Amino acid sequence: MKTTSKPMMAMAGSPDSSVHAAMTGPPDASPRFLSIDEGQIAYDDTGGDGPLVLAIPGMGDLRSEYRALRPLLRQAGYRVVTMDIRGHGDTTARWNDYSAHAVGRDALALMDHLNAGPAVILGNSFAAGSALWAAHDAPAQVRAVVLLGPVVRDGRPSWFAKAAVAIGFAGPWRVPFWLAFWNSLFPSRKPADHANAKAALALNLREPGRMEALRTMIGLSKADTTAILARNHVPALVVMGTRDPDFPDPVAEARWLADTLGAESLLVEGAGHYPHLEMPERVAPQLLDFLARVCAP
């Protein structure tokens, strides 16, 4: 049920070396697939009988964006499943519906397929809306949501920003255009394997239908997601980098969303749109504490 305590705003402090040392793990194995509707959803599964954590990446990225958190969560006893969203990664490229709500339904279908009990859903950026939609549609199946750099309402882009997107997606330069923007989402530091991740993302986005899916997602309104926020009834944790370039004022955005959801919040000083990947050692302690509380018997 929805937390009744006052929203808590915490500021991540200095890195924990013991946490940082644990952030290694084997490369992704070949994905598994779940067939639904018009295509297949690709996912990885650590297995085990611990509480289920389902992690959903944002638009224009791959399920490997959780590569820093996954070994930590697994070490703490959780079964971790990461999925590629519609149009991305190893999931089918072309769908009739790319909305956050549709991806939320995919998450519920995957949870039903896994038959591992209720899950905590992690959602980054656009997929924060998907986590909230899954909780809205099936609250008994969702223990809690963790919203990382959440984009859950429409912004007001300038005419210049609109023109830049239109031009950026208009020609053969569209993949480099997106990757340049993606690079800017890590303002303080990039992961050690950033170059390899960038190459993998570029290769994927050059597959037929991938950039068309991304362009469609960028153009979708989030008004439907905004409308359900006040009806949230599961515990929530909002994690926001203080230098997230997706927001004019990331701190104010985090406070607004935490207040609206009755959620806890974590501000990660200096991090951008991927606080869990740029500074995982600062995100992990509060994330693990939150999971321990919401998954307690």
At residue 22, the pLDDT reads 40
At residue 11, the pLDDT reads 63
Characterize the bridge pairing of strands 79-83 and 52-56.
parallel
At residue 28, the pLDDT reads 52
Element (H, E) at 257: helix 250-261
DSSP assigned state of 39: E
Q: How many CB atoms lie within 10 A of CB 94?
A: 14
Helix (H, G, I), strand (E, B) or coil at 181: helix
Length of the chain counted residue by residue? 297
Segments of the chain scoring below 70 in pLDDT = 1-29, 158-161
Summarize the chain as % helix, strand, coil (round to 5): 45, 15, 40
Tokens (6 digits) for 271 = 């991090």
The C-alpha angle 204, 34, 29, rounded to 5 degrees, equals: 55
Closest CA to 188 of 252, 251, 265, 273: 273
Characterize the bridge pairing of strands 264-268 and 236-241.
parallel
